[in-house]
Structure 1
Amino acid sequence: MATPDNTGSSTRALRGASLLILLQVVSRAITFVANQVLLRFLTAQLLGVSTQLEVYYLSVIFFARESLRVAIQRQDSSDLSTEDGNHGETGKTTQAVVNLGYLAIALGIPLASLFGWLYLNSLSAATLASAPNLVVSLYIYALAAVLELVSEPAFVVMQTRLQFGTRATAESVATFLRCVVTLGSAVWGAHRDPGVLPFALGQLSYGVGLLAVYTWYGAGLTRREGFSLLPRRITGLLVKASQHQQPDKPPFILSYFYRPTLQLASSMMAQSVVKHILTQGDTFLVSILSTPTAQGVYALANNYGGLLARLVFQPIEESSRSYFSRLLAPASDSTTPSASTSAKQPEPNSSSEAASQASTALQSLLKSYLLLCLAITTLGPAATAPLLSLVAGPRWAGSGASDCLIAYMFYIPLLAVNGVAEAFVVSVATEKEVHRQSAWMGVFSVVFGAAGFVFLRVLEWGAVGLVFANGINMVCRIVWCVVFIKRYFRWRGVSFEVWGVLPAPEAVLAGAFTSHVVRRVVVSAASGEAPAGAREAVVELIQVAAVAVPFMMAVAMFERQFLYGALQAVRGRRQASSR
């Protein structure tokens, strides 16, 4: 039986995932509508340049805070105690978390300057001439990144408290401001040729919104608990000797920063660099090996194809990372054995009960992902052309984005499995294992680059080839994670059935048959040409929906045992939380 703490963490993580998914659906729906209007004012070239600026912004944010966020999530507040022996989330332990958040600001400012200088020097004269206000927009993106990082001290406090409601409010307000400002400035400057300036102003408003909401909620918490959102020296805190790896050094660096968390963040930095290169590597490659127009086509396909990942996969991955970190915290402190020591018994502090709970949750999550992806790969390719023609216009439907989107449909299952698998690895991996993963991800990045060169330059497959290169890279990463997960659970005496997460063979056959039928029924899928107009596109989408109904019923019948078990598990958690 799970401990109350584990049960509470599981329930709160489940609620948090549900809330974040709802938030993503609403915010992305608003963003989606705004983007459809923006597409009427954009050329493919301007869209490609705006994607480059977004990568610049995301790079600054990612390198400045990602490793710190993961390390803070894995920090156990019970390792800290006040001088009177009290443990837990006191004002002083919270202040230690706030201080760590300021390191993201200290890293973000020089990173924004460095990456901005590198980006400006990489631009050609033709790109600068074809994209008005590009330099000004870059400066605004840099300011927006710094403003978002300024909200990090308040954010990490809310994250450690599992205050998902605060995050939902902050991101909702920020997303709404970004949509209004971006769309408003684009419409206002429609006859003035603003270039990518509307995107920059929208991103700046997003940072302002996050900072305002997190500061408001954080200030209320400081008044109740007696800590400060400004950095303060840490005094009167003791650290468990078993957790303090260097007894000859103080537990706090400069009396501000908790040393074990900072060391873990430093060890994860190299992995974060490689992970970001792999995550944004498609954009880097397409920037080097193709024209801005081709970049715009790929950006459109990537935005639509990755919509599900941003709506559903990302919030679930973040919540599962927090859930597994808390559930398996005692086991994650032990070192996973090598093959030569695998015959030994598990460490006394490892909980086989918690590991069994984690194995069941991970397998259920992966199977749910794959069932969803089965529907996507079965119905998505036929719906791509009419949907793209309807939402983006015939010009974009005939630009090659449709073919890229079809390829992306088969990439989504790899993206889904890799996301949750890596979330688990990050939650439980030791420092040594993090370094080993970083080394392997470096190898995979070389494989990805080689595959991208072959597909883009040798075979000249364009954006479709880039999707294939991403797929090869993702398969490599999944294989590594599966080997790690199998070893992790085997060492704790818990089984993890890889083949058990796959859909039932009957469901896969139903998908193959439905895919054949829908390609014969839908005109654009059979002819390879986009629908002639909006009316034809709507008719084809209705045809896809009609075929989808019996297919979904068949999958539900073949997977009824798993679906029933998942439903009972959700009901059980709700009943436990209501007591």
Structure 2
Amino acid sequence: MSGVDENVSAMLASSASGTTMMIIVQLASRIFTFTANQLVLRSLPPAIMGVASQLELYFISILFFSRESIRMAIQRQPLQLKPLTMYSHKDSTGTSPKKSNDVSEARTIASQSVVNMSYLSLALGFLFALAFAASYVQLASREVSELPYYYASVIITSIASLMELSTEPFFTVVQQYMLHRQRAVVEMSAAFVKSLTTCLACAWASRAGHSIGVLPFSIGYFCYSSTLICGYMLALSGVTDAQKFSMLPTKIKSRDRSEYFMGRFSWPMIGLSTNVFFQSVIKHLLTQGDSMMLATMTSLEDQGIYALASNYGGLLARVFFQPIEESSRTLFSSLLNSGGSGHLRVKNIDAAKTQLTEVLHAYSLMAIVGFPLGPVLAPQLLRLLGGRIWASPKISSLLSLYCYYIPFLAFNGISEAFVSSAANSTELRRQAVWMGVFSACFASAAYLFLKVGALGAHGMVYANIVNMAVRIVWSFSFIRKFMSRHGSGMAIAEFSPRPLTCIASVTMSIVLTSKGLYALDIYSTRDALILGAMYILIVSYLERKSLFIYYTKARELVKSKTSRTPKSKGE
């Protein structure tokens, strides 16, 4: 049992470390993007931003369909709990330990198998890039296709997507061996280069008086992918030699001298990724369905306004929620991997449940604070940052409404991360069927709000809330059945805030509304900040026990990481 405890502890420590590093990555990249966007927003009208959001959807779709299912299948493989040794260390006798030099055949085959399998993403990428490019160009409206450098932007973006897919072998090694620091450095560098390039291109065009459409955004994608390739090659140089596998697709030699490309580790992953692919197609339609619906049912101005609200309103989701979701999915996949035996250890189930409930409770506290304060403070922030071109009641009200959508986004992300990690092939196919039902609900809601109600971008936020709500209900139903099947349970009271905290949230919402603090003036901003600070103090007092537990765990994690750090030679 001690070995199990050590494995679980190592997984939890790796997940926490990975989450921390990815939050740093997201925070730094968003700071770069945010700074660049302030200059871009002041020189580009909403219509251009609408086309830029379409180009981003095109880029994301190629990447998602090409690599998402393969990534999820690879993540189900057990983590290498001993990180890669970048350099050999000699003992007191002056010789390198034999244990640090000998790499087992099973570990080498597993590593080479996932690297080989990751190249399937690039192969799929060529197919999807051709299909999406043809459809995107053919179906583009006349207003979009007549933009300067439109076709060049599509071609550059397609090349950039294939270049990013070529980094998948590096990504799999980073994930398998928990090289979070290397990944953080590479992705932060790429985000900085992308933001700088986009900003400089827009600034040059504005100063020179040239109209270049969305070309700066496509150049930004290209520079981002180029930096990823160079960064990963530098960061992981020498790793493959030490671990006896290659970053190129290489035949695997076993002791019986047979040679093959995939290996026994990969065939189950290929079967799983096939099941996940069909489910992920529907999931992508649900996740990016808002952009697709807007592109077909609304004007470019509405698309640009919604893109602004999504970028600013979803900033919290991308900085904090996405890294937590990604690292939690990796942790859940490792804890809930039965290794083919069909039996899960009770301690692993408990560890997965603890991780899930702690994240859900933290999200609940953020929602309790965000519901009253977000809709008031977000428009004030936009007025200061967006400039006069974006200062309008329509945009401010949309950003306020988007604040109510963010908690739904967070709860759906973590709950579906658990489902995708715990579900077997049969359950994944069942989920795909339900995703089809959710797609119908989303399409119906979008049609009612956009066409019948003519609510524009506001209607899309309402449709997204309906979409996330039904998905959350289904995911929690699955989680409760899964826990019950393994002798545990999952009650809402385990992660919800105290009743007094909920009452305080409702009271604060009523106070802010009655005082009319949604107006865009300095006095409303001042009063909202004062009341908001008082409210946060009240919530902190009411939830002091939970906050103290989080603080204690964070200190223990820091101490454990410090104690595991090897001392230098002179110490």
Which residue in the other structure is 2:247 paired with?
A: 229
* Contact 2:252–2:259 (Cα < 8 Å) also in 1: no
- Amino acid aligned to 1:451: A
Which residue in the other structure is 1:474 paired with?
A: 468
Deviations 1:401-457 (A, max 9, x none): 211111111111111111000011111110111111111011100110000000000
Which residue in the other structure is 2:123 paired with?
A: 106
Match for 1:402 among 389, 396, 406? 396
1:72-471 counterparts in 2 under 5 A?
72-76=74-78, 90-129=107-146, 131-190=147-206, 191-236=209-254, 258-330=266-338, 334=342, 349-398=343-392, 400-471=394-465
Which residue in the other structure is 1:241 paired with?
A: none
Deviations 1:90-123 (A, max 9, x none): 3332111110111111010111111010011111
Distance 1:257 1:112 in 2: 29
Q: 5+ unaligned residues in a row in structure 1: which ranges?
A: 79-84, 239-249, 335-348
- Amino acid aligned to 1:449: A
Which residue in the other structure is 1:503 paired with?
A: 497
Kindly state the Cα deviation for residue 522 of structure 1 after the two structures are TM-superposed: 5.6
* Contact 1:235–1:255 (Cα < 8 Å) also in 2: no
Which residue in the other structure is 1:56 paired with?
A: 58
Match for 2:8 among 6, 9, 13? 6
Pair 1:353–1:226, CA change in 2 (3 A)? closer
Deviations 1:461-486 (A, max 9, x none): 11111111111111111111101110
Match for 1:18 among 20, 23, 27? 20
Which residue in the other structure is 1:558 paired with?
A: 542
Kindly state the Cα deviation for residue 127 of structure 1 after the two structures are TM-superposed: 2.2
SS for the counterpart of 1:41 is coil
- Amino acid aligned to 1:55: L
* Contact 1:297–1:401 (Cα < 8 Å) also in 2: yes
Q: TM-score, normalised by structure 1?
A: 0.89
Distance 2:234 2:139 in 1: 40
SS for the counterpart of 2:252 is coil
- Amino acid aligned to 2:267: R
Give the alignment's Cα RMSD to 1 decimal: 2.1
* Contact 2:383–2:391 (Cα < 8 Å) also in 1: yes
Which residue in the other structure is 1:34 paired with?
A: 36
* Contact 1:234–1:255 (Cα < 8 Å) also in 2: yes
Which residue in the other structure is 2:67 paired with?
A: 65
Distance 1:367 1:332 in 2: 32
Distance 1:237 1:158 in 2: 27
Distance 1:372 1:228 in 2: 44
SS for the counterpart of 2:16 is helix
Which residue in the other structure is 1:246 paired with?
A: none
Pair 1:320–1:259, CA change in 2 (3 A)? same
* Contact 1:21–1:311 (Cα < 8 Å) also in 2: yes
Distance 2:181 2:525 in 1: 36
Distance 1:74 1:210 in 2: 24
Kindly state the Cα deviation for residue 275 of structure 1 after the two structures are TM-superposed: 0.8
Distance 1:542 1:145 in 2: 45
- Amino acid aligned to 2:44: L
Kindly state the Cα deviation for residue 24 of structure 1 after the two structures are TM-superposed: 1.0
Kindly state the Cα deviation for residue 20 of structure 1 after the two structures are TM-superposed: 0.9
Which residue in the other structure is 1:518 paired with?
A: 512
SS for the counterpart of 1:193 is coil
- Amino acid aligned to 1:209: T
Q: TM-score, normalised by structure 2?
A: 0.90
Q: Please identify, of 252-261 and 424-433, the stretch whose mean Cα deviation from structure 2 is larger.
A: 252-261
Distance 2:379 2:350 in 1: 44
* Contact 1:182–1:199 (Cα < 8 Å) also in 2: yes
Question: What's the % identity of the aligned pairs?
Answer: 35
* Contact 1:359–1:495 (Cα < 8 Å) also in 2: no
SS for the counterpart of 1:207 is helix
Deviations 1:250-303 (A, max 9, x none): 996676982111111111000110111111000000111101111111111111
- Amino acid aligned to 2:331: Y
Distance 2:255 2:459 in 1: 55
Pair 1:454–1:5, CA change in 2 (3 A)? same
* Contact 2:119–2:166 (Cα < 8 Å) also in 1: yes
Pair 1:58–1:157, CA change in 2 (3 A)? same
Distance 2:404 2:180 in 1: 32
Correspondence 1:484 to 2:478? yes
Distance 2:194 2:361 in 1: 35
Kindly state the Cα deviation for residue 204 of structure 1 after the two structures are TM-superposed: 0.5
* Contact 1:218–1:229 (Cα < 8 Å) also in 2: no
Kindly state the Cα deviation for residue 572 of structure 1 after the two structures are TM-superposed: 3.3
* Contact 1:297–1:399 (Cα < 8 Å) also in 2: no
Which residue in the other structure is 1:47 paired with?
A: 49
- Amino acid aligned to 1:274: I
Pair 1:397–1:252, CA change in 2 (3 A)? farther
SS for the counterpart of 1:227 is coil
Q: 5+ unaligned residues in a row in structure 2: which ranges?
A: 81-101, 565-571
SS for the counterpart of 1:90 is helix
* Contact 1:333–1:430 (Cα < 8 Å) also in 2: no
SS for the counterpart of 1:400 is helix
- Amino acid aligned to 1:200: S
Kindly state the Cα deviation for residue 390 of structure 1 after the two structures are TM-superposed: 0.8
* Contact 1:486–1:496 (Cα < 8 Å) also in 2: yes
Deviations 1:227-257 (A, max 9, x none): 211101112079xxxxxxxxxxx99667698
Kindly state the Cα deviation for residue 518 of structure 1 after the two structures are TM-superposed: 2.8
